[in-house]
Amino acid sequence: MPGVSLRDLFPVPSLMKARNVLVVQPHPDDAEWGAGATIAALTSSGAEVNYVTVTDGGWGSVDPEVDPSELARRRREEQAEAARVLGVSEMAWLDFPDGNVPTGADPALRSPLVRLIRSYKPDAVMGPDPWLPYEAHPDHYGTGFAVAAAVVLAGLEPPYRLPGLNAHSPAMLAMYNTSRPNTYVGVDAFWEKKLSAIAAHSSQFQGPVWEMGRLYLRAQAEELAARARALGKAGPGVTLVESFKVLTPLHLHCNTGAEEW
Ligand SMILES: [Zn+2]
């Protein structure tokens, strides 16, 4: 078929058309930080969004006296409030100890993720981009690789069989915290919801830390909006953008062009 490009054969799906989204995050607050405004936009357009948090978040402190299990309890409550702000339906917790996410798409993590994908049957799965250069937190790249593997493997029947959970292939994986975005979501109308959801994580974001965090997020969203406008991927009135690398399961296996798509 001369004249048909690979991009024509494997187009990137539209994230905002997803109606059932499963969001996977390494720690409480990661999804709000990387994708909170988009999640709010999705739920307010009627999409169902459910969360999977991989770890208990017990390492999220610089206080030498902190009790990690007490912190984990508090963070679960904070996450529930953040999810309520964003309109998230259900929260699943995998309860890996913070800092101990297996790396290399280990079955200990990808197996429960495959089962959750088969159970919720999302058309879009969100996870952190494991191919982010200079990402040094093993929980983040560990989670990202396991999510990408689970998106590919959930569509095959034999792996991790359980009664009633047949193969389900999501239409797309949308990776947040990415340096190679191909999807720009204008989020001006949902920015305050994102900030409220992050602020619900009061064990993490207080005083000067949160002040700096808000400045960082806004500067990042404004830069992404400028880039999206220059690419013709956002209208002139869009001033705040969250970005994603969106790929299909077909892009995610033996596809040498996926980096640029
Ligand atoms: Zn994290």
pTM score: 0.96
Between the CA of 119 and the centroid of ligand 1 the distance, in Å, is: 25
CB contact set of 96 (below 8 Å; sequence gap of 6+): 54, 55, 56, 102, 109
Whether residue 7 is contained in a domain is answered as no
Whether residue 260 is contained in a domain is answered as no
Residue 229's domain comprises 15-252
Between the CA of 83 and the centroid of ligand 1 the distance, in Å, is: 16
Between the CA of 239 and the centroid of ligand 1 the distance, in Å, is: 26
Whether residue 33 is contained in a domain is answered as yes
CATH of the domain at 127: 3.40.50.10320
Structure tokens at 136: 């040094």
Between the CA of 127 and the centroid of ligand 1 the distance, in Å, is: 11
Between the CA of 60 and the centroid of ligand 1 the distance, in Å, is: 9
Residue 89 DSSP SS3: coil
Reported as a pLDDT band with limits 50, 70 and 90, residue 64 is: confident
Whether pLDDT at 188 is above 60: yes
Mean pLDDT over residues 133-162, rounded? 93
Between the CA of 256 and the centroid of ligand 1 the distance, in Å, is: 29
Scored b (16 or more CB within 10 A) or e, 12-30 reads bbebeebebbbbbbbbbbb
CB contact set of 88 (below 8 Å; sequence gap of 6+): 23, 39, 43, 49, 50, 51
Whether residue 258 is contained in a domain is answered as no
Asked whether the beta carbons of 54 and 25 are under 8 A apart, the reply is yes
Whether residue 257 is contained in a domain is answered as no
Asked whether the beta carbons of 98 and 57 are under 8 A apart, the reply is yes
Whether residue 202 is contained in a domain is answered as yes
Alpha-carbon distance 23 to 126, whole Å?
A: 5
Work out how many domains the chain is built from and give that number. Answer: 1
Name the burial class of residue 166, with classes exposed (0-12), middle (13-18) and buried (19+) by CB atoms within 10 angstroms of its CB.
exposed
Whether residue 259 is contained in a domain is answered as no
pLDDT, tens digit, 9 for 90 and up, residues 193-224: 999 999 999 999 999 999 999 999 999 999 99
Average pLDDT, the chain: 95
Between the CA of 112 and the centroid of ligand 1 the distance, in Å, is: 19
Whether residue 1 is contained in a domain is answered as no
Which pLDDT belongs to residue 80? 97
Whether pLDDT at 1 is above 60: no
Which pLDDT belongs to residue 237? 95
Between the CA of 140 and the centroid of ligand 1 the distance, in Å, is: 6
